Amino acid sequence: MSAHTIFDNAPIGSIIAWSDATREPPARFRKKLTAWQSSNSKGRLIRKQGGRCVGNGSLSACFTLHEADYGASGVVAIRVHRTFSLESKLHFTVVERPVMGSMRVFDRAGDDAELVYLGTNEAEAKEWLTRHGYPGAVLQEVTADEVGADAVEGRAA
């Protein structure tokens, strides 16, 4: 599906895969494999941003996926996010939707909010918040309307 379809229909917290439709090179070609992996991977949908104006120019709508965390001993040193414009030519697929009743934790309220954690329930999300510093955090439950949107992928709900 297109980037527009993901933006319009995939709920925040979904796992989204992207692909450029090329075949994966053999592992022995490390440089080619690394380049291929940058256009063929997956991540959790953490943010959607509508189009906006910056100075004299304008930026198109986009969405951001959390691809990976790198660190050691429970400390995240590098967090990898990928942002895709709605004009992206890549092919996207919803791999997994968040479970109904799970709780999303956003870093702040408003349109610029970013998902920082997806808990299985409200108690787990609140417990997670006590260990992490997000003073302006907002909790939002995943509803049946969002989970039942399998029609996006061409299946009957």
10-45, pLDDT tens digit by residue?
A: 999 999 999 999 999 999 999 999 999 989 999 999
120-155, pLDDT tens digit by residue?
A: 999 999 999 999 888 899 999 998 887 665 544 444
80 inside domain: yes
Kind and range of the H or E run holding 124: helix 122-131
Instruction: Choose among 27, 90, 96: nearest CA to 62.
Output: 90
36 inside domain: yes
39 inside domain: yes
- Residue 141, classed as helix, strand or coil, is strand
Instruction: State the residue range of the domain holding 91.
Output: 3-97
Number of folded domains that form the chain: 1
Q: How far apart are CA 139 and CA 124, in angstroms?
A: 11
153 inside domain: no
Q: Are 134 and 107 spatial neighbours (Cβ–Cβ below 8 Å)? A: yes
Other CB atoms within 10 Å distance of the CB of residue 97: 21
42-83, pLDDT tens digit by residue?
A: 999 999 998 777 777 777 889 999 999 899 988 889 999 999
26 inside domain: yes
Q: Tokens 């939002």 — which residue?
A: 140
127 inside domain: no
pTM of the model: 0.85
DSSP letters, 57-114, are EEE--EEEEEEEEEEETTEEEEEEEEEEETT--SEEEEEEPPPTT-EEEESSSSTT--
* Residue 15 DSSP label: E
Q: What are phi and psi of 41, to 5 degrees?
A: -155, -160
